[in-house]
Amino acid sequence: MLKKYLFTAACVLGLLFTFTGVQAQSVPQFKVLMFTKMDGFHHKSVNEGVAAIREMAEKHEFAVDWHEDADLINDENLEQYDVILFLLTTGNILNEEQQGAMERFIQSGKGFVGIHSASDTEYDWDWYTKMVGRTFHIHPRNQTAELEVLDRKFPGLERMPDNFWWTDEFYEFGTERIDTLNYILSVNGDTYDTYAKWGDKESQDMDFRPIAWYHEYDGGRAFYTALGHIPATYEDRLFLEHIYGGLMWAATGKGLKK
């Protein structure tokens, strides 16, 4: 009888420890709201981008929800998230009430990540354009050009070469919307044809062409990269490490090297 009791107790304790271990392992490091609403050009790489972020979440033990419904940008719903990711968004996608909720989210100490056309979004929302840092102006055709790592203290750049060749849609930006940007990647304008003209809009001669940066903003954190136009990019290890570094820092403030 005693042996039977001890065996039963051992089984119960084993199940309890197993359940507790599973519960502990299932707690995510942070939670991301991935938003892909487009009111303008529709990027065909969005499906690859969403799939890549979901796979990244499994690899790095964070949680991610994907939505295109702007009504979910509200104070109550945003409380559960640590970072908002604008993946390939375009145009005017939030109303004034939703914009206010996003501002309060950042002001509470949380984070924002923008990928590629997040800088082609909400031009009339002054607070947003300052958070992103610069707004999209124009781009030439897709080309291969030389990228340069400018600052290795930001996470996700550890395995990037100092200079390397990359194929993408390289954005040209307007002037800085804020002077707190920390640039981490640039593209060498001497290595590709930078010229583009769209009606009255034309590319400019520039000595410096940044494509990724970060900064602390209005109580929170913001990271932006202009890479990510081409679908196959979302299978590239260097690019995915670059994105994860931005997500981790924006969500937690961790990763910066001193």
- What pLDDT does 25 receive? 59
- What pLDDT does 1 receive? 47
pLDDT of residue 135 exceeding 80, the answer is yes
Closest CA to 196 of 209, 183, 186, 185: 209
Question: Given pLDDT bands bounded at 50, 70 and 90, which one contains residue 42?
Answer: confident
Which SS3 state, helix, strand or coil, does residue 109 take? coil
Q: What is the pLDDT of residues 99-133, one digit of tens each?
A: 999 999 999 999 999 999 999 999 999 999 999 99
Closest CA to 228 of 125, 106, 153, 120: 120
pLDDT of residue 54 exceeding 90, the answer is yes
Q: Against a cut of 0.85, is the pTM above it?
A: yes
